[in-house]
Structure 1
Amino acid sequence: MSISISELVKVRTQHPEAIAEAAARRARRPLIGHTGRLMIVAADHPARGALAVGDHKLAMANRSELLERLCIALSRPGVDGVLATADILEDLLLLGALDHKVVVGSMNRGGLAGASFELDDRFTGHRAEDIARLGFDAGKLLLRIDYSDPGSLTTMLSTARAIDEMAARRLPVFVEPFISRRSGGQVMNDLSAEAVTKSIAIASGLAGTSAYTWLKIPVTENVDEMATVMETSTLPAVLLGGDPGNSASDQEGAYEKWRKALRLPTVQGMVVGRSLLYPAEGSVESAVDTAVGLL
């Protein structure tokens, strides 16, 4: 399909109220559909300045191309919805691409990639009240904890309060926890079994209730350790994707890890972004269909 940026700009310029009107008209659906599984496409990376896919540093910077890829992904059978920031979700609303889809608002994008304050990840995106007002279905937040960075404590506290605010509105929130550290000036997420286990334990205990909390968890370096790792909590979980790398073998390796981890009892589905929207090999359609087939 072809995305007309000029038409979107025209509506935004002359009829900004059309966004709220489109949100009010949107046909909604339950979070979990008839399959009992969840497949969400993620596109909240740009708001954190994380635009790279593989070696292409600005792959996600072209908004027309990103919207086109998202619309293709959302049109495929088995794709339940999308996770993104307000600007992208509003474009998709105006394009009529969100009917009968799960819409997840991205909440904290203040931890800009490469910034000195990256781990003081402020809530600069959707608030719980915004998600409720627009009739969206859930929220998502990122919780990276570096034991040597005081900014992580600020993020933990604001995360707990955000979970409380979502729960007060009976809105699910997907918490994406990591144990992280700085290496060469960059924040690196530890995907060892011990680190992922700790991150799950910490995230599960945040806020005054966990009734509406979901976990968004990476597959560990050794996928065979995932069964033990996921025994840490009874909270429902989805697997996250990541940068697909530069080769078909990287992509196939990711598929195989997801296939194994999806068999675990608390794992209810996947939230995957760049791996499907910008596959190392093949089309968006084939990447999405392959991922859906894993469920």
Structure 2
Amino acid sequence: MITVNAASIAKVVQTRALHPERIGELAARRQQPHGLVGQTGRLLLVAADHPARGALRAGDNPVAMGDRAELLARMVRALDRPGVDGVLGTADIIEDLLLLGALEGKVVIGSMNRGGLAGTVFEIDDRFTGYDAPAIAAAGYQGGKMLFRIDPQDPSTVATMQSCAQAVDQLAAHSIMAMVEPFISRRDESGRIRNDLTTEAVIRSATVSAGLASTSAYTWLKLPVVDNMEAVLAATTLPVVLLGGEVAPDQGAQFAAWSKALASPSVRGMVVGRTLLFPPDGDVESAVDATVELMTA
């Protein structure tokens, strides 16, 4: 098992400073996964692209994801568990994991648009500041993920929509999965963007995002678990992965909702970040194992 400690972090820093070419070499030599089926028949991915958007909160800790060594240690522990198939992250996270040797045989999804920084006036104008399709293809990764928030009151939405459509086309040209995470979003009285998690809103966001680009052949949707998921999943024939979402105080209720949604054959897996990496009791392994059990039920 890979150990993340002061010595291994120091080695990562030294390699980055003195031998940055090693990152490309490791990506090229990396053992590839066996498609997108997953060990349980469905994909379970650990997400850690939140820090690049300035979203560091997990539970009650506003900067839980701000300690990189701690975050990497938790990710490595999660990736080591049976049933965990890979990771979704920005280049800095993925390259740290490459240097630690944690991505052999794993599905890797590169996060593409992180320009909509949390809490900013330009948050909806979610520029593509992360991976692009050629970089994902060149590194031998399995897909690219994009966040697509639709604010009916913000004209910047259309720029993000167009950029997402172009990214879907570019990924499809490389025969690589495009993972689109859509929301209907609005600013509240304080100006903070809130996602509308009503059933109708999620259906609308799913149908709009499914229609992006000139082909949907390689498009998967990443959707939140909401009330009446049956209606949400009936809105599309595209493969769906469930969004784990925020750390819930009642983890049992959260797992029960996931289990119900996983009963649908449309659901091809889950992408879970803070809920697995920062569970209320701190036990990463138990949180991961409980999720894997849901996938196989």
TM range (shorter): over 0.9
Q: Helix, strand or coil: the match of 2:88?
A: strand
For residues 118-133 of structure 1, the aligned pairs below 5 Å read 118-133=123-138
For residues 198-237 of structure 1, the aligned pairs below 5 Å read 198-220=204-226, 222=227, 225-237=228-240
- Any conservation in 1 of the 2:109–2:142 contact (CA below 8 Å)? yes
What's the counterpart of residue 111 of structure 1? 116
For residues 214-293 of structure 1, the aligned pairs below 5 Å read 214-220=220-226, 222=227, 225-245=228-248, 247=249, 249=250, 251-293=251-293
- Any conservation in 1 of the 2:44–2:270 contact (CA below 8 Å)? yes
Task: After TM superposition, give the deviation of residue 282 of structure 1 in Å.
Answer: 4.2
What's the counterpart of residue 176 of structure 2? 171
2:56 maps to amino acid: L
Decide which of 4, 11, 18 is 1:2's aligned counterpart: 4
Task: After TM superposition, give the deviation of residue 281 of structure 1 in Å.
Answer: 1.8
CA distance in 2, matches of 1:43, 1:164: 25
What's the counterpart of residue 148 of structure 1? 153
Task: After TM superposition, give the deviation of residue 2 of structure 1 in Å.
Answer: 2.8
Task: After TM superposition, give the deviation of residue 6 of structure 1 in Å.
Answer: 1.3
CA distance in 2, matches of 1:92, 1:46: 15
What's the counterpart of residue 87 of structure 1? 92
Task: After TM superposition, give the deviation of residue 23 of structure 1 in Å.
Answer: 0.3
For residues 33-112 of structure 1, the aligned pairs below 5 Å read 33=38, 35-112=40-117
Q: Helix, strand or coil: the match of 1:215?
A: strand
Q: Helix, strand or coil: the match of 2:234?
A: helix
Query: Is 1:12 the counterpart of 2:52 in the alignment?
Result: no
Identity of aligned residues (%): 58
Q: Helix, strand or coil: the match of 1:125?
A: coil
- Give unmatched runs, 5+ long, in structure 2: none
CA distance in 2, matches of 1:36, 1:28: 17
Q: Helix, strand or coil: the match of 1:271?
A: strand
- Any conservation in 1 of the 2:38–2:83 contact (CA below 8 Å)? no
Task: After TM superposition, give the deviation of residue 33 of structure 1 in Å.
Answer: 3.4
- Any conservation in 1 of the 2:47–2:271 contact (CA below 8 Å)? yes
Q: Helix, strand or coil: the match of 2:280?
A: coil
Q: Helix, strand or coil: the match of 1:103?
A: strand
Residue deviations 1:235-279 (CA, integer Å, cap 9, x gap): 00000011113x3x2x11211110000011211110000000000
| TM-score, with length taken from structure 2 | 0.96
- Give unmatched runs, 5+ long, in structure 1: none
Structure 1 vs Structure 2 CA RMSD: 0.9
Task: After TM superposition, give the deviation of residue 34 of structure 1 in Å.
Answer: 5.2
Query: Is 1:21 the counterpart of 2:59 in the alignment?
Result: no
| TM-score, with length taken from structure 1 | 0.96
CA distance in 1, matches of 2:291, 2:162: 35
Decide which of 137, 143, 156 is 1:138's aligned counterpart: 143
| Mean Cα deviation higher: 31-40 or 48-57 | 31-40
Residue deviations 1:138-170 (CA, integer Å, cap 9, x gap): 110000000000111110000000000000000
1:198 maps to amino acid: R
Q: Helix, strand or coil: the match of 2:260?
A: helix
Q: Helix, strand or coil: the match of 1:156?
A: helix
> How many correspondences in the alignment?
289
- Any conservation in 1 of the 2:210–2:216 contact (CA below 8 Å)? yes
Residue deviations 1:64-105 (CA, integer Å, cap 9, x gap): 000000000000000000000000100100111000100000
Residue deviations 1:189-214 (CA, integer Å, cap 9, x gap): 00101000000100000100000000
- Any conservation in 1 of the 2:4–2:72 contact (CA below 8 Å)? no
- Any conservation in 1 of the 2:39–2:85 contact (CA below 8 Å)? no
